[in-house]
Amino acid sequence: MAFPRVAIALLIIGLIVGVGIGFGASLAFQRPSSTQKTVTYTIGVIMPLSGTLASFGTSFVNSVKLAVNEMNANLSAIGSPIRFNVVVADDGGTPAGALSALQSMYQSYSVQVVIGPLTSAEVLGLRDYADANHIVILPPAATATSLRIANDYVLRPGQPGDQFEGSALAQTILQFGEKYVVYIYRGDTSEIGTYNITSGILKQHGVSVIGIEYTPAQSDYSNIVASASSDVANFLSNGASKSQIAVVLGGYGTEAANMFVHASTDQYLTQVRWFGIEALNDISLLSDAQVASFMAKVNLTITAPEFKTSPQGINFVKAYTQAYGSPPEPYSNYAYDNAWIAMLSILVAGTYNGQVLVKIVPLVADHYFGASGTGIYLDQYGDQTIAYYSIEKLVKIGQTYNFTIIGEYNGGTNQVSLTSK
């Protein structure tokens, strides 16, 4: 009778061991996707969605969302549990707004990487807070030379800095043979910087430069335009010819629109050539008949970061247009690229920590070739060093106004070459 008892005991022990082994094996060989928890990383976006730059801000936000949607679709397709989500804040285009947006984003979401803000002044507003809290800031189009700071948390793999633009603008004006320049510029850190660089180069070449600084966000700039008109009239009365006089506008958005409307009825300002910065390539200006016809009449010539044609760039514009029903605002490609750089950096780092990401972003950026089509190489300040600018003139084709390329500036050689005037 002892045999059956031993056999039963062994059978029970065998069953228990078998169940244990089976359970262990099931854990070891189960499919990861069936139970792995989704890991979500937040990409913050701070942009002006109200105020004078709202059209750019909206387009930049859309570009980041597009990049994130594309990344998530690819991650999903390979069965990765990682996802990215976007948190957007409107900073109203002001430094205080940018700081407030970052504070609230950090407190609510512990955000570690932010695409934006748009202008250099906004970036300066939040820079100290970002440094103190180790939040990586990737502004797509903040170009002020005052942001060239080593070892901070602001990295600028997007648009090249104003030192290139100032040089491109000055050399273009020189190549047109201008001897007298009236330079109207916005009183912010970026445009003051560009004015200083441009006027410095022009003065070195014997050009007379009169600078007129204006305060942003005023309702009317008739006195600024009248002052520029008076300066042009003085140059003319002192014997200068119209072809030797130029007006430069270092401003944009609603402020530029107001000045152009006033200038369009001015006797002197309509007779000389105008130059400007890249932000004047703005859909809201070009779609305004009175403003655009004036811009074309004075042969407005701008220096704009070159959008080299690349499959990535073409795909970006196509995808954006499909998603949002209209093409992106100029320079939105930088926001799109920055979003990809941020996400790839998080994937490479395998962690969502600003202190780690700030070290990885330059590595990823230097090996990334995106929609901007020029490649990226960051200097010791974390700023883009590859700078190509196209020299563009506004022309009317049929019933529409468009900027056409008439030359190129190469930041590597610091040379402008014009194909036409």
Partner 1 sequence: MLNWLLGSIVRSIFESGIFLMVSIGLTLTLAVVKLPNFAHAEFITIGAYTTLIVTQFLPNNLPFALIASFLISGLIAIVVHQLAYKPLIKRRSSLYILVLASFAVAQFLRYTVFILASIGGMLSAHPLINVVPVLYIAGQALTNIYLLTLLLAILSAVFLFFFKFTLIGKSMRAISSNQALAQLSGINTERAINVMWILAGGLAGVGGSMLSPYVTVTPALGFNLLLEIFAVVIFGGLTSFIGTILGSLIMGFAENSLMDFLNIYFSVPYTYTPLIPFSLIIIVLLIKPTGFGLSYSVSRALKQRLIRTQSR
Query: Looking at beta carbons only, is 298 or 346 nearer to partner 1?
Result: 298
| One of 181, 257, 339, 356 touching partner 1 (CB under 8 A) | 257
Tell whether residue 196 is a contact of partner 1 (CB under 8 A). no
Supply angle C-alpha 371, 375, 381, rounded to 5.
115
Binding segment for partner 1 (CB under 8 A), chosen from 21-29, 194-202, 285-293, 358-366, is: 285-293
| One of 94, 112, 190, 229 touching partner 1 (CB under 8 A) | 229
| One of 30, 222, 315, 400 touching partner 1 (CB under 8 A) | 222
Query: Looking at beta carbons only, is 72 or 264 nearer to partner 1?
Result: 264
| One of 55, 196, 310, 410 touching partner 1 (CB under 8 A) | 55
What length does the chain have? 421
Query: Looking at beta carbons only, is 127 or 262 nearer to partner 1?
Result: 262
Binding segment for partner 1 (CB under 8 A), chosen from 163-171, 289-297, 363-371, 409-417, is: 289-297
Query: Looking at beta carbons only, is 268 or 307 nearer to partner 1?
Result: 268
Tell whether residue 219 is a contact of partner 1 (CB under 8 A). yes
The DSSP element (H or E) to which 231 belongs, if any, is helix 222-237
Question: What minimum distance in Å lies between the beta carbon of 151 and partner 1?
Answer: 33
**Contacts of partner 1 in 160-189 (CB under 8 A):** 187
Secondary structure (3-state) at 360? helix
3-state SS string over 151-190?
CCCECECCCCCHHHHHHHHHHHHHHCCCCEEEEEEECCHH
How many residues interact with partner 1 (rule CB under 8 A)?
Answer: 39
Backbone angles phi, psi at 287, to 5 degrees: -90, -5
Look up residue 346 and give its two tokens: 């998080």
Measured between alpha carbons, how far is residue 297 from residues 270, 281, 293 in Å? 7, 15, 6
**Contacts of partner 1 in 236-255 (CB under 8 A):** 253-254
Q: Which of 164, 130, 171 is nearest to 144 (CA)?
A: 164
Secondary structure (3-state) at 61? helix
Question: What minimum distance in Å lies between the beta carbon of 202 and partner 1?
Answer: 20
Backbone angles phi, psi at 186, to 5 degrees: -70, 140
Q: Which of 353, 357, 169 is nearest to 277 (CA)?
A: 169
Question: What minimum distance in Å lies between the beta carbon of 102 and partner 1?
Answer: 22
Chain position carrying tokens 């629109």: 257
Question: What minimum distance in Å lies between the beta carbon of 215 and partner 1?
Answer: 5
Query: Looking at beta carbons only, is 30 or 215 nearer to partner 1?
Result: 215
Tell whether residue 418 is a contact of partner 1 (CB under 8 A). no
Q: Contact 414/179 with Cβ under 8 angstroms?
A: no
Query: Looking at beta carbons only, is 163 or 229 nearer to partner 1?
Result: 229
Answer left, alpha or beta for residue 151, where phi above 0 means left and psi between -120 and 50 means alpha: left
Tell whether residue 408 is a contact of partner 1 (CB under 8 A). no
- Cis omega (within 30 of 0) for bond into 362: no
Question: What minimum distance in Å lies between the beta carbon of 258 and partner 1?
Answer: 5
Tell whether residue 224 is a contact of partner 1 (CB under 8 A). yes
Amino acid found at 89: A
Tell whether residue 375 is a contact of partner 1 (CB under 8 A). no
Question: What minimum distance in Å lies between the beta carbon of 124 and partner 1?
Answer: 18
Binning the chain into helix, strand and coil, the percentages to the nearest 5 are 50, 20, 30
* Cα dihedral 43, 44, 46, 47 sign: positive
x/- mask, partner 1, residues 35-54, rule CB under 8 A, reads ---------------xxx-x
Query: Looking at beta carbons only, is 55 or 310 nearer to partner 1?
Result: 55
Question: What minimum distance in Å lies between the beta carbon of 51 and partner 1?
Answer: 6
How many CB atoms are located within 10 Å of the residue 327 CB? 13
Secondary structure (3-state) at 137? strand
Binding site for partner 1 (CB under 8 A): 50-52, 54-55, 58, 187, 212-215, 217-220, 222-224, 226-227, 229-230, 233, 253-254, 257-258, 261-262, 264-268, 284, 288-291
